[in-house]
Amino acid sequence: MSTIAAEAEISIGQYLIDRLMALGVGHVFGIPGDYILTLYKMMENSPLKLVGMTREDSAGYAADAYARINGLGCVCVTYCVGGLSACNSIAGAYAEKSPVVVVSGSPGMGERIKNPLLHHKVKEFSTQAEVFEKITVASAVLDDPSRAFAEIDRVLAAALRYKRPVYLEIPRDLVMAKAPRPRKAPDSIPPSDPEALREAIDETAAMLSKAKRPMILADVEVHRFGLQDDLIALAESTGMPIATTILGKSVVSEGHPLFVGIYEGAMGRAEVTKFVEESDCLLMLGCFMTDINLGIFTAKLDPSRCIDATSEDLRIRHHHYREVRLDDFIRGLHDRGLTLSHVPIPPKAEHPRRPWVAVPDATMTSARLFARLDRMLDRDMTVIADIGDSLFGAVDLTMGRRTEFISPAYYTSMGFAVPAAVGVGMANPNSRALVIVGDGAFQMTGMELSTIARQGLNPIVVVMNNKGYTTERFLLEGTFNDIPNWAFHKVPEVLGCGRGFEVHTEAEFDAALIEALANISSFSLLNVHLDPLDRSPALERLAGRLMKIV
């Protein structure tokens, strides 16, 4: 590492702000509190834009969505009551590899003498830091000015290297403290071990060359590490077909001639599942083999035919290679100029923009809802799907370009979608968000529409109102799955902003969508009434397969 002369009179707080901006962060999400107010004021006086949310967990969801698009996000909260409230959303970001920087204030070091019972404190002064240590990839309490700069650099480097959340805690009496010694240049991401990389590419190339049906299964890390162009270059140079998982949906345009479909075990289309599982050499790039990605473990993938490459491990059959970067591996394979066997891609089951004509008095169903949304999508939209049937149904939507589908498809935390629309709107103001959310999830965080209104964003929010937790009804029915039936379409009246639509029939849905698309000055909310036992085609496919297994 090279040494850089220390900048005169720079504080810990200012250094952190400068480093965030240097890494591309332009917006910070959160809620102020007395332990973080000094840093908040410094951020307000900087080029950073503070985005005030209504809840800390919502701020975490917004920062998560922002990070998925921007490459790095930041949430800034006060001590314990703020930080601990954000734990769930940060845990989700960790689970799904989204690099969010958590910045929290804390009691000043001078206040901690004799261990007083200060407000917000839980057990020990270190309690919050210890909690976040479990759900982040790196953390630091900046309680020593002589080490603070190096710790900030170390923690931020980990966020970029592993694409997971990190935690920085600043005692409020040290925000303005100056570093007493020169700083060192931040470390870059370490390169691959050249011998391990060469051997891994040799073994992979040999397997692919011998295969009769080689193909690629791409997932979320391709997006997180910005490797979409490298993925396409490899596929096009070799002719290998590409399937993606739910988490990896939209890492490649679904209109690409080599795109096969979404692989999701029993939830997926039969022809896609069959095509992937019959591959005799499956090149898995950046994959998370979760129960959701595997269709509740109905997938059938033979490890002896798989090459599983992620940012943290590379496994070829039963061989493991360490210190091989995913980007180096993909580019190295491309540079080999492989000539591989080609296999015809199965025809798409349905035209991606199939006609949809409203049956005037027909009641709305999930299948018809998603078919109509699919027809409406264009290249300037980002789909944000909450969990449950909002997610399962949205898997069948056709993404015309890449990186336009966002969902907590592994951690599956309810309430993600509406606050995520704030992060999407800040990260990419040129893309309009289509939010698909269940009534239960909306009741958790839907009032973040207040922040959406305040920021002048214009998402279209479709509430699938089936009077409860429908996905859980198919697991175990009970009154605990019932929730109050809100008049969701009247939320704009409460906020004094936006447009609301109540929908019972196909004709009403069609008309509401047309008006919502035309309303570019504010958000639109569609309260779509569905039968409590209605379910999307994807959930229907899964239920049918599970019944056969049982």
Give yes or no for a contact between 308 and 284, defined as CB atoms under 8 angstroms apart: yes
All structural domains of the chain with their residue ranges: 12-171, 194-335, 366-547
Give me the pLDDT at residue 18, please: 94
Give yes or no for a contact between 431 and 424, defined as CB atoms under 8 angstroms apart: yes
Q: Dump strand ranges (E) for 319-431.
A: 319-321, 381-385, 405-406
Backbone angles phi, psi at 162, to 5 degrees: -105, -5
CA contacts within 13 A on the Cβ side of 114: 1
Give me the pLDDT at residue 5, please: 45
Give yes or no for a contact between 76 and 39, defined as CB atoms under 8 angstroms apart: yes
Give me the pLDDT at residue 139, please: 97
**Cβ partners under 8 Å of residue 242, min gap 6:** 215, 216, 217, 218, 231, 235, 252, 256, 258, 259, 260
Architecture of domain 194-335: 3-Layer(aba) Sandwich (3.40)
Which uninterrupted H or E stretch holds 50? strand 49-52
Residues of the chain with pLDDT under 70: 1-8, 180-185, 187, 265-268, 290-300, 348-354, 401-403, 542-550
Give me the pLDDT at residue 295, please: 47
Average pLDDT, the chain: 89
Class of domain 12-171: alpha beta
- The span from the CA of 311 to the CA of 225, in Å, is 9
Give me the pLDDT at residue 292, please: 55
Give me the pLDDT at residue 250, please: 86
Backbone angles phi, psi at 389, to 5 degrees: -70, -15
- The span from the CA of 7 to the CA of 363, in Å, is 66
Closest by Cα among 36, 132, 39, 34 to 84: 132
- The span from the CA of 79 to the CA of 125, in Å, is 10
Give me the pLDDT at residue 296, please: 45
Tokens of 133: 């240590």
CA dihedral for 77, 81, 87, 89, sign (positive or negative):
negative
Distance of CA 257 to the CA centre of its chain: 26
Give me the pLDDT at residue 4, please: 46
Exposure string (b/e) for 521-545, b if CB count within 10 Å is 16 or more?
ebbbbbbbbbeeebbbbbbbbbeeb
User: Which amino acid is located at 316 in the chain?
Assistant: I
Exposure string (b/e) for 153-174, b if CB count within 10 Å is 16 or more?
bebbbbbbbbbbbbbbbbbbbb
- pTM of the entire predicted model: 0.91
Q: State the first-to-last Cα distance of the chain, in angstroms, to the nearest integer.
A: 59
Give me the pLDDT at residue 437, please: 97
Class of domain 366-547: alpha beta
Q: Are strands 27-30 and 49-52 parallel, antiparallel or unpaired?
A: parallel
Exposure string (b/e) for 60-97, b if CB count within 10 Å is 16 or more?
bbbbbbbbbbbbbbbbbbbbbbbbbbbbbbbbbbbbbb
For the chain, what percentages of helix, strand and coil (3-state, to nearest 5) are there? 40, 20, 40
Give yes or no for a contact between 199 and 34, defined as CB atoms under 8 angstroms apart: no
Tokens of 71: 């490459």
Do the domains spanning 194-335 and 366-547 agree at the CATH topology level? yes
